[in-house]
Structure 1
């Protein structure tokens, strides 16, 4: 049986980037905007890039990173929207190519096919972002209706300050779709 959420349900897909430690900020902001939240992480992200127990406590739901068997109940209702944050070079390129070799990627590929709104906050080093495959992936995903926030590089400004990731930008991008 699929659980039905009373509030709109947001999937947050978390990739393995150092900034992922702050994903609780996105969850808190989404809950403040009246979303129920479920987190799906790439296997590497779930293993060591953020506090899975803190996220579980905050959402009241398990953090998913592995496929379930057909006999297992669905732990989340279907998504009303998805935010991918932080989105890495690897995830963006695989997703664009239709590779679904992890639960996170399979979820993203399926969400597109279901017409679910998707917002992405990239966290990709400038050297990787310059790669032609990444640029082509952005073009393809944008053509599919995926909304992208400005890339985060974490580069210090002229005063040496590193900008914040701006987790709420993903939610703002979804609001523009409503």
Structure 2
């Protein structure tokens, strides 16, 4: 059986520190994993970069490749973006591609790549009216957004519980998206 390719993308929210365990779990579920991070998440995980690259077998990317150079990753069967911050969700929905990860998922809509995302925002960000509009925009574009009941439920500011972040829901949804013709 050929391995399905999962682009696992993360932005700078505390659960991103658990990304190595998520990569292993995804691999145990039969995925080849390519890891992409926003610039701040890249800074946070820089001490783990060598281990993450060894674990995935691919470079951890946070920048676009140079024009005319071959891509170092295989083609994605599915993209899972989590944790996705308030900034990343809104930028994606508005088409503001200020970084590699948001650029790939924004383009992924037009390419028809199956995608799932799970925000990680506190209740203060969740109260901002743009978040609901952005989630509605992404869902309208065919993105499965795991937010609210059956996904991520915001905590009060400063009351996050990174170990309780429901990574299993993201991987379940990615498996389902990758197996849907």
Q: TM-score range by the shorter chain?
A: 0.7 to 0.9
Report the Cα offset of residue 106 of structure 1.
0.8
Q: What is the CA–CA distance in structure 2 between the aligned matches of 1:153 and 1:53, rounded to whole Å? A: 32
- How far the C-alpha of 1:175 sits from its partner, in A, is 3.2
Tell me the equivalent position of 1:166: 166
Which runs of 5 or more residues in structure 1 are unaligned? 1-5
Per the alignment, residue 16 of structure 2 pairs with 20
Q: How many residues align?
A: 169
| Partner residue in 1 for 2:31 | 35
1:109-128 equivalent positions in 2, closer than 5 A? 109-128=106-125
In 1, distance between residues paired with 2:72 and 2:153?
Answer: 31
> C-alpha distance in 1, partners of 2:45/2:76?
24
TM-score, structure 1 length as denominator? 0.87
Q: Say whether residues 1:46 and 2:47 are aligned partners.
A: no
| Higher share of residues assigned helix | 2
> 1:73-115: CA deviations, max 9, x gaps?
2110111000001010000000000111111111001111111
Q: Any unmatched runs of 5+ in structure 2?
A: none
- Answer yes or no: is 1:55 the counterpart of 2:52: yes
TM-score w.r.t. the length of structure 2 is 0.86
Which residue of structure 1 lines up, in the alignment, with residue 152 of structure 2?
151
What aligned pairs does 1:58-137 form with structure 2 within 5 A after superposition?
58-137=55-134
1:8–1:125 CA distance, 2 compared to 1 (3 A):
same
Separation in 2 of the partners of 1:154 and 1:161?
A: 6
RMSD: 1.9
